[in-house]
Amino acid sequence: MATHLLSAYPGLLVSSASGQAYAALERLGAQPTDERKALAACDTVFLCLPDDQVVEQVLFSAQGLAQWMRPGSTVVDTSTLGYAQTLDIARRLASLGVRFMDAPVSGMAQRAGDGTLTAMCGGQAEVVEQMRPYLQTMASTILHMGPVGSGQLAKLINQLLYNINIAALAEILPMACKLGLDAQQVSRVVNTGTGRSHASEYFLPHILAGSFTSSYPLQDAYKDMRHGAQLSAEMGLPLPVLAAATATYQTALLQGHGSQDKGAMIKVFEALLDVQFRTPPATH
């Protein structure tokens, strides 16, 4: 995302806790810095951070950006956060005269690399339109979903549907093996039939190969399930299918699969049924 932004806006100031991308971005003309005051001096600050706690720390800790940002400047948060925290961030920044827009993205690493992400924006229409040229460098679909927090809600809806799909694959596919069906053939049926989804198209080849490190780790993805459960509890919304999928996530985490990707949820039911949904080893 930073690379695409940099291609259109040379001299981009970049900062990262790990610093791993500094060398590559600097070669492209970026200016790496760990100086928070330098970041806060910018008119527009984009955040892309792992979770609620890190966003809170970057903005509002003793060395947080917010205290130094000028009135009229803008924070665009592309992280995935809870709805309530997003509203709280917007309120606290507004008290300092700083504008805020939530713009979480979807599309995984491949579309981030291609610059074809989907950005779901929450905020005032004027702010969204002013930020649109920047977002267009990294996203091919930019949707204004409504006031602040609406982008996070839209991202959550998308993620919950995706996560439920993966949990369903994890539960049903081991049953196919237990009943004597061939895993490769079942995968072909699913991905050419009505059971097909983005989740099946992406994860089935990796599961068949026994590869569970190609995507976002389960322990990090679990935040979406927490956010869904919080909304369900706070608003009294019955979400029984989501609750069942959440139980599968939790079981996978308790069994130690948190560092693996979401496809590793299949290991929960493989263990229960004493099967593996894999391509059989080649015979000679």
Beta strands in 138-281 (DSSP E): 139-146
Residue numbers annotated as active site: 155
- Under 8 Å between Cβ of 104 and 80: yes
- Under 8 Å between Cβ of 128 and 186: no
Beta strands in the chain (DSSP E): 13-14, 31-32, 44-47, 74-77, 99-102, 105-106, 117-122, 139-146
Which residues, including other chains, have CB under 8 Å from residue 70's CB and lie 6 or more apart?
41, 43, 97, 98
Count the helices and strands in the chain (H runs, E runs). Answer: 13, 8
Which residues, including other chains, have CB under 8 Å from residue 196's CB and lie 6 or more apart?
190
HEC secondary structure over 46-114: EECCCCHHHHHHHHHCCCCCHHHCCCCCEEEECCCCCHHHHHHHHHHHHCCCCEEEECCEECHHHHHHH
